[in-house]
Chain A
Amino acid sequence: MAQATGFHLLALVDELLIGIIQHVQSKDDLCSLVLACSRLQGLAEPALYQFILIRKGTEAVRLSESIVRRPIRASFVRTLHIRYKHLNRAGIEVLNQSLRTMYNLQEFLIEAPCCNDNHRLGDRFQSQGKIDYAEYFAFASSMTMESQPRVQISLQTCKYILASSVVLYLLILTLK
């Protein structure tokens, strides 16, 4: 059909393709574009990696592996939300290393698991999280050693939720 109407997506200049890609909402569609050819991969990967939501340790491992395979991907990440469930925490710790490579990160939300999230009523619950946040923020705040020094990671917005207490879940259930 594309040939019949004389339209080739790849005939468009990069600026137009980027404009089109910016309107693609679906992660699956972005993945398809990335897999189509090397040119589209270069144009669509920044959009694919712009916002990352991690809900499982396995997802964290996949993200880290993809960054190792192509390190420039880390620079595409602008927004990172880490909101994993307690039962899916295995593997989250790999982000300790990957986080340092995301030097264009602007918005960072980290949420240690809470007993509201798949946890049995009455269980004592301690969750300090799997990521060493203090070490990360010390690194992010430090300056680069370049000729014009800048902060390592120019974060703009951060939300830091550590549910390290035993929540009085009974209270909610009673009121419900």
Chain B
Amino acid sequence: MGKNAVIFLHPTLRNLTISCFDVGEDIIPYISANQSPTGLRSLTFDECNITVKGLAAILSLPKGLQRLTIGERMHHLHGYAHTPLGPNPESFLQALALQKDSLQYLKHIGVPCGVVGSIDNLSMDVFTNLREMELDNHSILASILSEAATRGSPFAGNLHLRLIQAYNSAHSPPGTPLDEDPLLGSMYQWFKLVPNLDFIIDFLHRRDGSAILTGMWKHEKQRKFAKKIFALAATDVTQTQNTPNKRRLKMFFVQSAGYIPPYMYGEIRPRECLIFDSQNRTA
């Protein structure tokens, strides 16, 4: 990104979206001399290679960033040595923590990567105002959230989580045991940890999502398991309707027109289609 990083210094800019950039340490000389904080409130990276040091440098600038979307490169890979944020979970969290008091919404999408650093003692408890997260199931933040919730951290209990689960039919052939079914198993596990869950099934830019969905759970055992999850969510609504910690499960699938991000002029963006909402008790 180099000298283009000067954009992060603009004092009145409130909303900024950056697509298809490599955000590395080379930006530091261009922004390190800045003394006054900026007014940026919403920052979106779309299909960007971002290093932890580059991210930290950028997040040191805004006075109170409220919304942050980190979309790592998933499609534009040719010719790039991708350095995902996931293998450095502690440093990644430290960079995010530069905005821990103001951040209200955080989204992270990234390619699968083997974790190098340990996540055993990590949590997001310091993000006191964070109310909504949207995470790819491969995101290291999803792993941290899950681990911390299992250890008893209350953070996930107050969160609205939107979990994006990629689905490839090759991963779930007919006869797959229920506890190995990537969709049902994941949804069940996450709903136990996060009471306000949007579970989003992404068919990886395929345009026949609704057809796949129809055929996906055609086996009786899988249908029963899905009904069990839906029933659990629906029952919880009636039982806790007047309590502040109301549980809610929504399920979506992504209807794609086949385009990949970043979406250019005239390209049809994917849209989320609601399949189930426990509040309406419809399936």
Given A160-B16, A167-B75, A168-B76, does the pair A141, B9 have CB atoms closer than 8 Å? Answer: yes
Across the two chains, which residue of chain A brings its CB closest to B7?
A137
Which of B83-91, B172-180, B189-197, B200-208 contacts its partner? B200-208
Mark A102-144 against chain B: 1 for CB-CB distance below 8 A, else 0.
Answer: 0000000001001011000000000000000110011011000
Q: Is the CB of B264 within 8 A of A163?
A: yes
- The distance in angstroms between the C-alpha atoms of A158 and B244, with both chains bound, is 38
Q: Is the CB of B7 within 8 A of A161?
A: no
Cβ of A140: which chain B residues have Cβ within 8 Å of it? 10
Cβ of B259: which chain A residues have Cβ within 8 Å of it? 116, 172
- Let me know if A148 is at the binding interface, CB within 8 A: no
Cβ of B12: which chain A residues have Cβ within 8 Å of it? 151, 154-156
Q: Is the CB of B206 within 8 A of A175?
A: yes
Of the candidates B15, B18, B77, B267, the one whose C-beta lies within 8 Å of that of A157 is B15
Q: Is the CB of B260 within 8 A of A158?
A: no
Q: Is the CB of A111 within 8 A of B6?
A: no
Q: Is the CB of A163 within 8 A of B262?
A: yes
Q: Is the CB of A165 within 8 A of B13?
A: no
Smallest CB separation, A72 vs chain B (Å): 22
Across the two chains, which residue of chain B brings its CB closest to A117?
B264
Q: Is the CB of A138 within 8 A of B17?
A: no
Binding site for B on A (CB under 8 A): 55, 83, 111, 114, 116-117, 133-134, 137-138, 140-141, 151, 154-168, 171-172, 175-176
Q: Which of chain B's residues 249-270 have a Cβ closer than 8 Å to chain A?
A: 258-260, 262, 264-265, 267
Q: Is the CB of A165 within 8 A of B78?
A: yes
Cβ of A155: which chain B residues have Cβ within 8 Å of it? 10, 12-13
Q: Is the CB of A166 within 8 A of B18?
A: no
Cβ of A168: which chain B residues have Cβ within 8 Å of it? 75-78, 260
Mark B41-83 against chain A: 1 for CB-CB distance below 8 A, else 0.
Answer: 0000010000000000000000000000000000111111000
Across the two chains, which residue of chain B brings its CB closest to A133?
B4
- B interface, size bucket: 35 or more
Given A137-B6, A156-B13, A157-B15, does the pair A116, B264 have CB atoms closer than 8 Å? Answer: yes
Binding site for A on B (CB under 8 A): 2-4, 6-7, 9-21, 46, 75-80, 204-207, 258-260, 262, 264-265, 267
Smallest CB separation, A169 vs chain B (Å): 9
Cβ of A114: which chain B residues have Cβ within 8 Å of it? 262, 264
Q: Is the CB of A171 within 8 A of B13?
A: no
- The distance in angstroms between the C-alpha atoms of A160 and B43, with both chains bound, is 11
Q: List 5 A-B contacts (CB under 8 A).
A: A111-B265, A154-B12, A156-B12, A165-B76, A172-B258
Of the candidates A134, A158, A167, the one whose C-beta lies within 8 Å of that of B76 is A167
Q: Is the CB of B11 within 8 A of A157?
A: no
Given A137-B7, A151-B12, A158-B7, does the pair A171, B264 have CB atoms closer than 8 Å? Answer: no
Cβ of B80: which chain A residues have Cβ within 8 Å of it? 165
Q: Is the CB of A116 within 8 A of B267?
A: yes
Smallest CB separation, B283 vs chain A (Å): 28
- The distance in angstroms between the C-alpha atoms of A83 and B76, with both chains bound, is 19
Tell me which of B10, B14, B78 has the highest count of chain A C-beta atoms within 10 A of its own C-beta. Answer: B10
Cβ of B267: which chain A residues have Cβ within 8 Å of it? 116
Cβ of A83: which chain B residues have Cβ within 8 Å of it? 264-265
Cβ of B6: which chain A residues have Cβ within 8 Å of it? 134, 137-138, 141
Of the candidates B4, B19, B20, the one whose C-beta lies within 8 Å of that of A137 is B4
- The distance in angstroms between the C-alpha atoms of A165 and B76, with both chains bound, is 6
Q: Is the CB of B13 within 8 A of A157?
A: yes
Of the candidates A133, A134, A154, A161, the one whose C-beta lies within 8 Å of that of B264 is A161
Of the candidates B7, B11, B46, B204, the one whose C-beta lies within 8 Å of that of A133 is B7
